[in-house]
Amino acid sequence: MKGGWLKIYALAYLLFLYAPIALLPVFAFNDGTIIAFPLRGFTLEWFAELGRIEALHGAVLNSLVIAVSTAVLATVLGICAARSAARYDYPGKRGVMGFIMLPLVLPEIIVAVSLLVVLLQLGLSLGAWSVILGHVLICTPFSIAILNSAFQNLDRSLEEAAVDLGETPWSTFRLITLPLVMPGIISSLLISFTISLDEFIIAFFLTGAEPTLPVYLWGQLRFPQKIPVVMALGTILVALSILLLTTAEYFRRRGVARAGGKDTGGFL
């Protein structure tokens, strides 16, 4: 069969990709404090435990606030940049866009320490807001990447047709542009939310007294007896991420289909 060996390789590779997260639920439901085989038995204890940890709840709430704010801000900034890139030409466009996209390849630790230094120099105290600043910076390029294709697939004559039929530029944006790129916007919100919820390094450097969820987790990883609880938490997080991503992907595809474009696949 054509590509037979390649297919076997590809399936093995998928196994390699999924092996770690496949283990999460295995140990999350395992009735033993040591994370190793053989398994002991089934328990929901670790999930129940999650409900009793006050510090965790604070961290979750903190992370949610940060992730929602980040998603909204990054998407708004992403809309501005993607729209301007898809629709207009101006001198230095490539340079400006390249710079905005830079955090995509910049090591996160560099973003983290440079922001930290500036904030401390300015004498500002750290908190959720400083984490949001950093997260918006790294999420905006992803948002732009998603929205770019949404805005580029938009046939310009659709907007002109609306103006021609008597709408102002602003009502055209509201009635035509926005509905047509809405799937992209939703997908950008979800992706930014997911990235922010997950991000550790920047949060680690820029968080104040109240940790975010990953920072809290990081603290727990040092205590072996806490690991099963972490596994339970991880299971929930992974399930949540997959749900969010599937939704994002659904909207992205619907956007492509609606604009009549061809699906090129993938978020990046």
Partner 1 sequence: MTRPIIQLQDVQKYFGDYHALRGINAEIAEGEFFSLLGPSGCGKTTLLRVIAGFEDVSAGRVLIDGKPMEGVPANRRPTNMVFQSYAIFPHLSVAGNVGFGLRRAGLTADEMGRRVDEALEMVGLAGFGRRAAHALSGGQRQRVALARALILKPRVLLLDEPLSALDKKLREQMQVELIKLQRQVGITFILVTHDQEEALVMSDRIAVMFDGEIAQMDDPEILYRRPKSRRVADFIGVMNFLPAEVLSETGDRIEIEVAGLGRAEISADQAPRGGGGQAPSVGFRPETLTILYEGQQANHREARAVVEEVVYYGDMTYYDVRLQGTEKPVRLSMRNVFGREVLPIGTETRIAWSPGALVLFR
Partner 2 sequence: MRLAQKIGRMRRTDAASGILLVSPTALYAILLLAAPLATIFAFSFWTQDYLTIDRSWTLANYRTAISEPIYGQLMLRSLWISGAVTASTVVLAFPIAYFVSFHVPPARKSLWIFLITIPFWTSYLIRVFLWKVILGYNGVLNSTLLGLGIIDAPLTFILYNANAVVITLAHAFAPFAILPIFVALEKIDRALLEASRDLGETRVTTFLRVTLPLAMPGVVAAVLIVFIPTIGDYVTPRLVGGPDGLMIANMIQTQFLQLNNAPMGATLAVLAMFIVTLVALIFVGLNRRFLRRQQ
Binding of residue 245 to partner 2 (CB under 8 A): yes
Residues 173-232 that bind partner 1 (CB under 8 A): 176, 179-180
Residue from 43, 47, 127, 249 binding partner 2 (CB under 8 A): 249
Cα–Cα distances (Å) from 230 to 45, 79, 162, in that order, read 12, 36, 53
Binding of residue 241 to partner 2 (CB under 8 A): yes
Tokens 């990953």 — which residue?
Answer: 214
Residues 154-173 that bind partner 1 (CB under 8 A): 155, 157-158, 160-168
Nearest residue (CB) to partner 2, 79 versus 180 = 79
x/- string (CB under 8 A) for partner 2, residues 59-78? -----------------xxx
Residue from 43, 108, 127, 182 binding partner 2 (CB under 8 A): 108
Q: Which two tokens stand for residue 24?
A: 């999460």
| CB 92 to partner 1: min, Å | 16
Which of partner 2, partner 1, none lies near 15, with the C-beta cut-off 5 to 8 A by kind?
A: none
Which of partner 2, partner 1, none lies near 43, with the C-beta cut-off 5 to 8 A by kind?
A: none
Phi/psi for 33 (5° steps) reads -85, -15
What is the C-alpha to C-alpha distance for residues 162 and 183, in angstroms, rounded to an integer?
A: 20
Nearest residue (CB) to partner 2, 57 versus 93 = 93
What is the C-alpha to C-alpha distance for residues 132 and 246, in angstroms, rounded to an integer?
A: 25
Which residues 6+ apart lie within 8 Å of 259 measured at CB? Answer: 150, 153, 154, 155, 180
| CB 55 to partner 2: min, Å | 17
| CB 102 to partner 1: min, Å | 30
Determine the interface stretch with partner 2 among 43-51, 94-102, 146-154, 177-185 (rule: CB under 8 A).
94-102
Angle 9-12-17 from CA coordinates, rounded to 5°: 125
Residues 129-158 that bind partner 1 (CB under 8 A): 155, 157-158
Binding of residue 54 to partner 2 (CB under 8 A): no
Residue from 112, 233, 256, 259 binding partner 1 (CB under 8 A): 259
Tokens 């390789």 — which residue?
Answer: 9
Nearest residue (CB) to partner 2, 189 versus 195 = 195
User: Could you list the residues that contact partner 1 (CB under 8 A)?
Assistant: 155, 157-158, 160-168, 176, 179-180, 258-260
